[in-house]
Amino acid sequence: MNFKLCALKHHFGTNFIPRPSILCPQRRQLMDELKLLQDRYLELINQVLPQLAKERQLPLRYNHCFGRIVLDNLFGCCWYEVLSRKNGSAYKQLNQEQLKRAIEIAEAIIFEPQEYIAQLNQNSLRWRGKLKKLGVT
């Protein structure tokens, strides 16, 4: 146990649980970076992509559709085969690298032709077994 933590436990009692920033400034920086990535992901999924869908008259319009498409294509399968639906919001379960990749996928939707999102949607529906129900293979 380092001296700083020892002194804090002595001052506040043995049940003292320090905040991560007290023990490790690098951890605080990582948490700040994670929050920035989460905020960007949410901005894309909840605002930018639905607005883009409206402007381009895409068949997809709702934020949960974009979330499904991005996360399914991030993992190459239905996202809840990888993440737990019981552990809260999916984006909060992503690590930094996964969030960066999800943001890349979402931003690519903005700049790629409409066929790109159509392909991502087809992938997602195929992994979910929904294409056969729609009569598409």
Residue 45 CB neighbour total at 10 angstroms = 24
pLDDT at 137: 47
pLDDT at site 15: 56
Q: Look at residue 96 in the predicted model and tell me its pLDDT.
A: 95
Output the pLDDT for position 32. 87
The parts of the chain modelled with pLDDT lower than 50 are 5, 137
Contact present, 4 and 18 (Cβ < 8 Å): no
- Provide the mean pLDDT of the chain: 85
CA-nearest of 19, 129, 121 to 66 is 121
pLDDT of res. 108: 97
CB 40 within 8 A of CB 101: no
